[in-house]
Amino acid sequence: MERRGSRDGSGERGDRQGAGARSGDAARRKPLPPVKTHAEEFYFLKQMNSRTPMLIVMVDGEELRGWIEWYDEACIKVHRHDGPNLMVYKRHIKYILKDPEAADPS
């Protein structure tokens, strides 16, 4: 009695065609976007260097005003004129924008 193919089935026609189709799909897929775009770094550095007055709205609705003195992967340090400086975790921030009340009326 003669056996054909191997035990794992690698000699079957369906497997050979399936492998070729899979590699063709991978070639047509879009590449994944980069994990880090450096947009956050660029934004924070720009605001830090110009000491732009910022409004930081927290997840619970609290608003903090001041300029960003320092930042890292997990938090930012906010320099405030009307109170103590604060270290704020980024996960508690809803959004950050330039303080509209501090804008020059020129």
Instruction: Tell me what pLDDT residue 84 has.
Output: 94
CATH number at residue 82: 2.30.30.100
Averaged pLDDT, 48-66: 96
Please state, as a whole number, how many other Cβ atoms lie within 10 Å of the Cβ of residue 56: 21
How many alpha carbons lie under 13 Å from residue 25 in its C-beta half-sphere?
6
Domain-located, residue 24: no
Q: Domain count of the chain?
A: 1
Domain membership flag for residue 67: yes
Beta strands of 13-106 (E only): which ranges?
Answer: 54-58, 63-71, 75-79, 86-89, 93-98
Task: Tell me the per-residue pLDDT of 14-45, one tens digit each, with 9 for 90 and over.
Answer: 555 555 556 666 678 888 888 888 899 999 99
Q: What is the mean pLDDT of residues 58-80?
A: 95
Residue 5 located in a structural domain:
no
Q: Evaluate whether residue 93 is within a structural domain.
A: yes
pLDDT of 8 over the 80 cut? no
Residue range 79-97: average pLDDT? 95
